[in-house]
Amino acid sequence: MRQLEKRHPVVEKVEAEIERTLTDYGYELVQVVYGGPGRSRLLSVYIDKPGGVSVSDCQEMAGQLSVLLDVLDPISESYELVVSSPGVERPLTRDSDFERFAGKAAAVTYSDGSQKKTQEGILLGLADDEVVLETTEEAVRIPLSEIHGAHLVYDLDADE
C-alpha cells in the first residue's frame, strides 16, 4: 500500500495494528490522522464497510480501538480518539482506491513543477502508475508520485 500523504510518526506506529483490528471486525481502514493545535491532540480513525458505517459502528470500534491503544500506548501525552465515517468526500489514500472508485467524481491535488494544482474530473482508474481523470476538456494523467492528496467530490445534483 502506497500512502499519498506524509504520515505522523504516531500514525506509523499504530496504523498496521488498527487496520488489523478493523479487518477482524469487518471494517476497512480509510485513514488515520494524528495532530491538533496545542494540547488538543486527536487520533482520528476513518472507517468504512459496504453500505457505509453508522454511529453505532463508530462507537463499537472506538471501544475496541481504545483497548488496543491502551495496550500499545503509542502516545505519551493525553489525546482523544475519534472514530468516524470518511464522509461523502472520502479521501482516496491507497492506489487501489483509484480503481475502486472509477466512474466517480474526484479531486486530485498534485505537484506540477514548483506549484501545487488541483484537478477535478471523473476518475477513470490507474494506468502505468498514473491516475487518469476525465475532465471537460480531455483525459488527464497524473503520476502517483506527484499526488499530495485526493478525494471523492460529492455531487449535490445527483441526489435530486
Classify residue 145 by its DSSP letter: G
Q: What is the pLDDT of residue 3?
A: 47
Interatomic CA distance for residues 99 and 2, integer angstroms: 14
Domain boundary among 39, 55, 84: 84
Is the same domain home to 21 and 77?
yes
Please say which residue of 56, 84, 112 terminates a domain: 84
Residue 2, pLDDT score: 45
Same domain, 76 and 46: yes
CA distance 117 to 133: 14
Domains in the chain: how many in total? 2
> Residue 35: which CATH number?
3.30.300.70
Q: Is the pLDDT of residue 1 over 80?
A: no
Whether residue 78 is found in the same domain as residue 21: yes
Looking at the fold, whether 72 and 17 belong to one and the same domain comes out as yes
Q: In 10 A of CB 150, how many CB atoms?
A: 27
Classify 99 as helix, strand or coil: helix
- Cα dist from 123 to 19, 30, 65, 72, 95, whole Å: 26, 18, 33, 38, 12
99 and 71: one domain?
no
Q: Which residue range is the domain that position 123 belongs to?
A: 95-159
Span 107-116, mean pLDDT?
91
Mean pLDDT on 20-48: 91
pLDDT over 60 (residue 33): yes
Q: Are residues 111 and 78 in the same domain?
A: no
Residues 118 and 149 in one domain: yes
CATH of the domain at 115: 2.30.30.520
